[in-house]
Structure 1
């Protein structure tokens, strides 16, 4: 009988896959021996495989280049990285190797931009598209960037006051974009996005506040829907409405030359994932060109703002199954040595699903289980995977440690979880390592952050004296510093 975990995977999916292979009975991720990583760094741990960031950027650029060639599209394509997906320096440094641009969401994003400029990572020619609802600090930082000579900083207007606020702070002429407040999918609890300006109000807004304003030049129309880029009637309908607004605006605004279609490319969340990126890009480019030709206006330059697509598939987390609890005749709980609420908050907050696979013991028999975290919260669990609302893993054996990996977790987890801060039930943030390849393709790893220590958490909570007392006591007794949750191998 086919009762081994490897049999289950072979029967259910095409395997191996581009990023997942099996060598010496253990799981490799992009050629990285994950059991070797565990042996060196312990678990729980998080990792970022940096080459995947560049790989996805180059893939997207190729898709658009091929689509432009196929449809004889005369505009230019600009790839922007949506920094809110992950603000970490190692992510930006890797992404900026690929001649890309930046999309910002808040005042502090501009501080990051200024830092990158000082390091020579970006220049005044780099597009900085500033989205979001803008208050004093954000307005001021955008103005400082433009006043310092960054001519390609384009604030995307989100509400009717922003033109006046920017004009008061920016010394000379400046460029702007306008964000469309798209209509949401019918299943949403509201009809229209809170972001941007409604379809029917775009042209009147331009005529009232921009057309005769000598300081302001409209360059871009921004379009994005919450569901992201999907091959369904809702997406194509919203894109068509956007293009009608663009062509109407272009006819009265000669300076308008760019259409930002936002982000929203899905990332792989199952071994059965199937999304035809190249087809979607070709069809988007084709529809833009078709509508513009029909309306006899010049096709726009196309901008995208891919965030999760850029960084999501670079990240992963590895845990050890510590213990199995048989709670009733049917339910077995495998307890991991960390917490889903704290380390993968998307699984708890928005029911996000990631690829989950064992790192070792693929040739052992398997069983159906639930996965539980260490906190005393009933919501700290992960109970759904690609096998139709069930998780199958090699059978628990306390004599044979089992390690499991969650993959494509690189977007949003650290910022949602409050990296470096307090976590639910004071579960410490795990060790985080960076995985890179040198010019010869050889792997090299480095520790980005150690696992949090108890004194780190006590300091944040204000127990400064207690922290000092603990350290003093430990020194007197000759006790080495320990982690609240010891790494177990």
Structure 2
């Protein structure tokens, strides 16, 4: 009878996989990085970002679109934009921008990040800056400053009728804009139409009344996005068809319109059983756009995407130690981790999001069914189900044999939603966070982005001390195998 954890994984999934393998001691590796070695070096709880994955995903998407464009003899270009709200960190933007991409922004401070990137030479005047979101004074002012400075490829995407006048009042020269379509949501949603953008039926009248005779403004782009993302469903294809009808109607009266932004929405792997045919979806999107335009007798548009989670999500991970097991009744065993899900992986609590979860070590041991509990005194601080098994199975708890658990593909949104660097629920400290990269010859390098929060940070934020403590950031660099942190660890 096969009762070891390694047998469970082998029987349930195709394993190993591209990013998940085992080392010689049957301990987990992520993209060839030995997770137990990270633990030896840095301890737990620990968050990490594997930087090479960012570029890999960008290049894969570019290849899928290039193949589809060639397959369908599509006459226009493809432009990859990164949706910065997924992760604003400098190390993420620096790595993404190495791959000849553009940027989509969501709020006022995004533009100030763009200006810093321009100063450092990371982006230039040929980089598209697509400005989405509901725009208030600071955002409008920053957009106008960027355009007035000569960045002609900054394109505000109009979200409401008032924005056009606000932009005109601040921008000194002619400029280009886009319009966002307020898509209709799936029937299961609590509302029928997205709060973002302008309704399908109102876009053409808006263009005719406010833009067509305005000599200062050119409509360049139509923006389309739905909350459920790019999926092979009747709902998605129906919404894309409605979007294309608006594009075709606008193009007939607006020669400057030449671009269609289909937004983001590529899913990322949330299970070892994840199955999604990216190439098919890209090819079918290109095919439908070209077919609709050919039928209408118009030139197909340049394609823009705004992939956020797809760009950065699969680069992130979190590692915890199981501190203790509580047997609360005959059926439920609670494995208590050395951190909190609410603070470190807030999407597990806020939207019941599932991430890939596996044991890091002890794969040769027998397994048991458990629940995972966080350290806060909050009944919602737990994680109890994998995406497709509705249960968690881990090697059996043994107080004399430390057990470590990894959550993977956590790189999008978790730091910003969790309030990186700020107060945390029940004052559970934010974990140490490290960056993992590779040299040109493939060697693994690691660098501390931030240390685990100390009590002084919380006391300062809460107003108990007048003098500010030095922030939690560190430039310390470590090489795997040279411990900078001591932890009671057994393999």
With the shorter chain as reference, the TM-score category is over 0.9
Q: Distance in 1 between matches of 2:163 and 2:397?
A: 58
Once the two structures are superposed, what CA deviation does each residue of 1:210-250 show, in whole Å capped at 9, x if it has no partner? 00011111000000000000000000000000000000100
Q: Secondary structure at the match of 1:241?
A: helix
Partner of 1:4: 4
Q: Distance in 1 between matches of 2:233 and 2:300?
A: 24
Q: CA RMSD in A?
A: 1.1
Paired residues of 2:324 and 2:336 also in contact (CA < 8 A): yes
Matches within 5 A, 1:152-191: 152-191=153-192
Is residue 25 of structure 1 aligned with residue 26 of structure 2? yes
Once the two structures are superposed, what CA deviation does each residue of 1:87-144 show, in whole Å capped at 9, x if it has no partner? 0000000000000000000000000000000000000110000000001100000000
Partner of 2:118: 117
Q: Secondary structure at the match of 1:58?
A: helix
The offset of 1:336, in angstroms, is 0.1
Matches within 5 A, 1:448-467: 448-464=449-465
Is residue 411 of structure 1 aligned with residue 412 of structure 2? yes
Q: Secondary structure at the match of 1:207?
A: helix
Partner of 2:332: 331
Partner of 1:476: none
TM-score by length of 2: 0.95
Q: Distance in 2 between matches of 1:166 and 1:128?
A: 15
Q: Distance in 1 between matches of 2:276 and 2:197?
A: 29
Once the two structures are superposed, what CA deviation does each residue of 1:334-373 show, in whole Å capped at 9, x if it has no partner? 0000000000000000000000000000010000000000
Q: Which runs of 4+ in 1 moved over 3 A?
A: 465-468, 486-489
Paired residues of 1:271 and 1:386 also in contact (CA < 8 A): no
Paired residues of 2:5 and 2:365 also in contact (CA < 8 A): yes
Partner of 2:54: 53
Evaluate the alpha carbon distance shift between residue 467 and residue 237 of structure 1 in structure 2; reply closer, same or farther with a 3 A threshold: closer
The offset of 1:300, in angstroms, is 0.1
Paired residues of 1:67 and 1:281 also in contact (CA < 8 A): yes
Q: Distance in 1 between matches of 2:187 and 2:225?
A: 16
Paired residues of 1:458 and 1:467 also in contact (CA < 8 A): no
Paired residues of 2:68 and 2:283 also in contact (CA < 8 A): yes
Matches within 5 A, 1:340-355: 340-355=341-356
Partner of 1:279: 280
Q: Distance in 1 between matches of 2:134 and 2:318?
A: 33
Once the two structures are superposed, what CA deviation does each residue of 1:31-88 show, in whole Å capped at 9, x if it has no partner? 0000000000000000000000000000000000000000000100000000000000
Q: Secondary structure at the match of 2:253?
A: coil
Q: Distance in 2 between matches of 1:464 and 1:151?
A: 47
Paired residues of 2:40 and 2:487 also in contact (CA < 8 A): no
Partner of 2:101: 100
Partner of 1:205: 206
Residue correspondences, number: 472
Q: Secondary structure at the match of 1:317?
A: strand
Partner of 2:478: none
Partner of 1:420: 421
Once the two structures are superposed, what CA deviation does each residue of 1:439-458 show, in whole Å capped at 9, x if it has no partner? 11111001000000001110
Q: Secondary structure at the match of 1:464?
A: coil
The offset of 1:388, in angstroms, is 2.0
Partner of 1:143: 144
The offset of 1:487, in angstroms, is 6.2
Q: Distance in 2 between matches of 1:488 and 1:229?
A: 45
Q: Secondary structure at the match of 1:98?
A: coil
Partner of 1:71: 72
The offset of 1:467, in angstroms, is 8.9
Evaluate the alpha carbon distance shift between residue 222 and residue 229 of structure 1 in structure 2; reply closer, same or farther with a 3 A threshold: same
Paired residues of 2:359 and 2:403 also in contact (CA < 8 A): yes
Q: Secondary structure at the match of 1:212?
A: coil
Partner of 1:434: 435
Is residue 297 of structure 1 aligned with residue 304 of structure 2? no
| Unaligned residue ranges in structure 2 (runs of 5+) | 470-485
Paired residues of 1:356 and 1:407 also in contact (CA < 8 A): yes
Q: Distance in 2 between matches of 1:6 and 1:386?
A: 19
Partner of 1:479: none
Q: Secondary structure at the match of 2:98?
A: helix
Paired residues of 1:157 and 1:176 also in contact (CA < 8 A): yes
Is residue 397 of structure 1 aligned with residue 398 of structure 2? yes
Paired residues of 2:80 and 2:304 also in contact (CA < 8 A): yes
Paired residues of 2:431 and 2:453 also in contact (CA < 8 A): yes
Q: Distance in 2 between matches of 1:386 and 1:349?
A: 16
Paired residues of 1:432 and 1:448 also in contact (CA < 8 A): yes
Is residue 62 of structure 1 aligned with residue 63 of structure 2? yes
Q: Distance in 1 between matches of 2:145 and 2:164?
A: 16
The offset of 1:386, in angstroms, is 3.8
Q: Distance in 2 between matches of 1:350 and 1:487?
A: 33
The offset of 1:389, in angstroms, is 1.1
Partner of 1:14: 14
